[in-house]
Amino acid sequence: ETGVTQSPTHLIKTRGQQVTLRCSSQSGHNTVSWYQQALGQGPQFIFQYYREEENGRGNFPPRFSGLQFPNYSSELNVNALELDDSALYLCASSIDRMDGYTFGSGTRLTVV
């Protein structure tokens, strides 16, 4: 197992810009979820992909979007960045929706 790898580890963007965060899941993990963790808070569910289809979404606006690829990698895209988007973004994958999740170390996004 290679674990869940996220890139980049840190990123600074300007308000209004767009950003793409990447996640490489473990082989065979057909489910990936993305979470936003603001400083001092618990992670908040953004959305989940199962077999390349969006399977559920939290209370995040449409400018948060994602993709999942057949090679077990995925992306989180955020358009029109706002200062409040500054957070740690966590990717989590699992073999199936019912299984336990393995989290990556996250991408720290700072919007200035």
Partner 1 sequence: GNSVTQMEGPVTLSEEAFLTINCTYTATGYPSLFWYVQYPGEGLQLLLKATKADDKGSNKGFEATYRKETTSFHLEKGSVQVSDSAVYFCALRDLGPNSGGSNYKLTFGKGTLLTMNP
Binding of residue 98 to partner 1 (CB under 8 A): yes
Note the maximum CA span of the chain: 38
Q: How many CB atoms lie within 10 A of CB 44?
A: 15
- Alpha carbon distance 71, 43 (integer Å): 26
The pair of three-digit structure tokens given for residue 74, joined into one six-digit string: 């995925």
Least distance from C-beta 16 to partner 1, angstroms? 28
Of the residues 41, 77, 79, 110, which one makes contact with partner 1 according to CB under 8 A: 41
If binding means CB under 8 A, how many residues of this protein chain bind partner 1? 27
Which 42-81 residues touch partner 1, going by CB under 8 A?
42-45, 48, 55-58
Residues 103 and 90 sit within 8 Å (Cβ to Cβ): yes
Q: Which residues sit at the interface with partner 1, rule CB under 8 A? A: 4, 6, 31, 33, 35, 40-45, 48, 55-58, 90, 92, 97-98, 100-106
